[in-house]
Amino acid sequence: MKMPAFLTCLSLALAVGCGDGGGDVNGRPAAPDPFEPTLESLAAHQVPLWFEDAKFGIFIHWGPYSVPAYADPLFAGLGIAGPSYAEWYWFWLMRIRWPSTLAYHLCTFGTNIVYDDFLDLWHAEGFDAGELVELIRRSGAQYAVLVTKHHDGVALFDSATTGRNTAALGPGRNLVEEWTRAMRSAGLKVGFYYSLYEWFHPLYPSDAAYWGLLPKMDPINPFTLEPVPYQGLLPETREYVADHMLPQLFELVDGYRPDLLWFDGGWDRPESYWRTNEVIAHFYNQAFREGREVAVNDRGGEGSHGDFETPEYEVFNDIREHHWEATRGIGFSFGYNQFETEREYLSSDQLVDMLVDVVSKNGNLLLNIGPRADGTVISLMEERLRDVGEWLAINGEAIYGSKPWMQAAEGWLRFTVRGDKFYVTALEWPGDELRIEAAVPVHSGDRVVLLGREEESLTFRFEDGAMIITMPPGGPEAQPSRFAWVFRISP
Of the chain, the percentage scoring pLDDT greater than 70 comes to 93
* H or E element, residue 416: strand 413-418
Query: At residue 268, does pLDDT exceed 90?
Result: no
pLDDT the model gives residue 258: 98
- Which residues lie across from 488 on neighbouring strands? 423, 449
pLDDT the model gives residue 83: 86
Q: What confidence tens digit (pLDDT) does each residue in 237-256 have? A: 999 999 999 999 999 999 99
Q: Phi and psi for 444 in degrees, rounded to 5?
A: -60, -30
In whole angstroms, what is the distance from residue 292 CA to residue 419 CA?
A: 25
Where residue 197 falls (left for φ over 0; alpha for ψ -120 to 50; beta otherwise) is: beta
Confidence class for position 444, pLDDT limits 50, 70, 90: confident
pLDDT the model gives residue 155: 98
Q: What confidence tens digit (pLDDT) does each residue in 343-395 have? A: 999 999 999 999 999 999 999 999 999 999 999 999 999 999 999 999 999 99
Q: Phi and psi for 263 in degrees, rounded to 5?
A: -75, 155
In whole angstroms, what is the distance from residue 35 CA to residue 45 CA?
A: 8
pTM of the predicted structure, to 2 decimals: 0.93
Query: At residue 92, does pLDDT exceed 70?
Result: yes
Q: Within its chain, how far is the Cα of 177 from the centroid?
A: 18
Q: What confidence tens digit (pLDDT) does each residue in 433-442 have? A: 999 999 999 9
- The arithmetic mean of pLDDT across residues 187-214, rounded, is 87
For domain 403-490, the CATH architecture is Sandwich (2.60)
Domain boundaries, the chain: 5-15+31-398, 403-490
- The arithmetic mean of pLDDT across residues 157-165, rounded, is 97
In whole angstroms, what is the distance from residue 253 CA to residue 397 CA?
A: 33
Cα separations (Å) of 182 from 135, 237, 292, 422, 424? Answer: 12, 33, 19, 36, 36
In whole angstroms, what is the distance from residue 480 CA to residue 486 CA?
A: 11
Is 5-15+31-398 a CATH 3.50.50.60 domain?
no
Q: Other C-beta atoms within 10 Å of 177: how many?
A: 16
* H or E element, residue 462: strand 460-463
- Which residues lie across from 309 on neighbouring strands? 324
